[in-house]
Structures are given as structure tokens and as C-alpha cells.
Amino acid sequence: SQQGEEDPQALSIQEGENATMNCSYKTSINNLQWYRQNSGRGLVHLILIRSNEREKHSGRLRVTLDTSKKSSSLLITASRAADTASYFCATDAGGTSYGKLTFGQGTILTVHP
């Protein structure tokens, strides 16, 4: 079964608003990563948070990780039309899954100008 489940599946907001996307997973992890995919393009890495970290920031991005609830959230503040894309969480479970990232089904974010 799929490791990551993302919520919501689609999110539509106005420019300047904040966007929050959630990711839940099933097994213990070494780290969790977030990626962005623009339409017709490859995935681009946004941020990595380790299992012993609770929060991480990068520019307008804020990621939280709650290992007790097996969940993470990605917050994009002051969104821009250029943030329109699909956003994926991916988990690194380590162990026998070493070298393998398992992706969620993604959240489609639309930011209206």
C-alpha cells in the first residue's frame, strides 16, 4: 500500500494567502521530503526534514513533522501564482528500504492572481 497520503488532493487559493498541505505515512522514517512538480516537468526538491527534527524553514516554506502521529505539513506563506504546481511528500524508511523514497499521491495547488 502507498506510504504517503496527502490531503487535500486539490487546493485553490488567492495570491497572498497561505497554503497548507498535509501528509500522513504508515511506517517509521529516517526523513521526509517535499517536492514540487510543475505541469509537464520533473520534480524539484523543496525541503528535507529528519525524523529527529520537528520544524524546518526555507524561505516562504515551513515544514513540520510529528513522528508520533506519523504526519507532516507543508505551509507556503504569501503564495504567488508561480507556486501553482503539484506538491508531493516522500518518505525514506531506511532499513531494507534503504535508497528508496516512497511518494504520496500529491496535492494540486492552484494560486489565482
Binding site for another protein (CB under 8 A): 2, 30-31, 33, 35, 37, 40-45, 48, 50, 86, 88, 90, 92, 94, 98-103, 105-106
Of the two residues 39 and 113, which places its CB atom closer to another protein in the complex? 39
Residue placing its CB nearer to another protein in the complex, 16 or 95? 95
CB atoms < 10 A from the CB of 16, how many? 11
By beta-carbon proximity to another protein, the closer residue of 70 and 106 is 106
Closest approach, Cβ 64 to another protein, in A, equals 19
Residues 43/27, Cβ–Cβ less than 8 Å:
no
- The CB-of-91 to another protein minimum distance in angstroms stands at 9
Beta pairing, strands 101-103 & 85-92: antiparallel
User: How far lies 81's CA from each of 15, 26, 55, 109, in Å?
Assistant: 6, 33, 25, 10
Nearer to another protein, 62 or 94 (CB): 94
- In the numeric block, the cell 513522528 is attached to 67
